[in-house]
Structure 1
Amino acid sequence: MNEIVDMIRQWPKLEPFKWDFICKGSKSILGYEPTRQALNKKLAVKRAYAVKKEQLRFEANKLSRVARPRSTLEAMERLVKLQEENDQLKGELNKMAEIANRFIYNAKIKGLTPEQLMRPMPQKKKP
């Protein structure tokens, strides 16, 4: 049954997720095509199905909240803008990583231990 559970967990996004298709897919594992009822009696399979179904619902709901572009041009403009923002954030992240490495290097030279570096910042005293 673990192979069927794995099949359910790795179900392709473009394939319909229905018991009929799971039964047909199970044929290559079991050598025969089980019924929906037979698979549903197996707790691990039933749970994997429920989790995958919920995951697919969540993804569909998440996508439904995204504003749809009115045209291909608008979609391309959004993609370009997001790519530019992504490139900018990657650049900032690289700069921060460089600064962090410099801080770590200088702290080692001064003899600070990782425990000293990770010590929490002092809390502000309330008046």
Structure 2
Amino acid sequence: MPKTIAQKHERTIAQMIRNWPPGHALSWNAVCIGAQGILGWESPPTRQALDKKIVIKVAYKSKKEQLKIEKQKLEGIPKPRSTQDAMKKIIRLQAENDALKAELSRMAEMANRLIYNATLSGLSRERLMAPLPSIREPQKSAQQ
């Protein structure tokens, strides 16, 4: 009697594929070996058996595409010439990130203060959230 893969196992295998570590190559052979542990079988399922399951097939194709896109993004980033250059860049980006977080915090505080004071002055939430009027350019006269 052939072994069957239950829907519960299909979802678990698909979740395993979605959580595949980026540093490890994703292949059907590796998925089959990982599925063996989930299914509790003595031997791994075949690629064809897993490929027949739509949930698993879609998860595999999606993860493969995601890994391909991530690899292309990494190839487009210029590589630092040395570890020292990389460390300097990380420190600079962390400082910039901290400054932006502080600025965002100040802006959020100011927005809350403005909303609070406007509400105290009797402005409704609808009036406060109304879109800005569009700016119209002055009409050029025909005499110019």
TM more than 0.5: yes
Question: How many Å separate the matches in 2 of 1:114 and 1:25?
Answer: 54
Aligned length: 127
Picking from 22, 35, 48, the partner of 2:46 is 35
2:69 alignment partner, one of 58, 62, 72: 58
More helix per residue: 1
Gaps of 5+ in 2: 1-9, 140-144
Give the secondary structure class of the aligned counterpart of 1:15: coil
1:22-68 alpha-carbon deviations (Å, 9 max, x no partner) = 10111122122211111111111111101000000111111111110
CA RMSD of aligned residues (A): 1.1
Moved over 4 A (4+): none
Q: Distance in 2 between matches of 1:113 and 1:64?
A: 51
Shift of 1:95: 1.2
- How many angstroms apart in 1 are the aligned matches of 2:79 and 2:104? 30
Answering whether residue 101 of structure 2 is matched by residue 93 of structure 1, we say no
Q: Which among 2, 14, 21 is matched to residue 5 of structure 1?
A: 14
Q: TM-score if structure 1 supplies the norm length? A: 0.94
Distance between the aligned counterparts of 1:114 and 1:58, measured in 2?
Answer: 43
Q: Which runs of 5+ in 1 are unaligned?
A: none
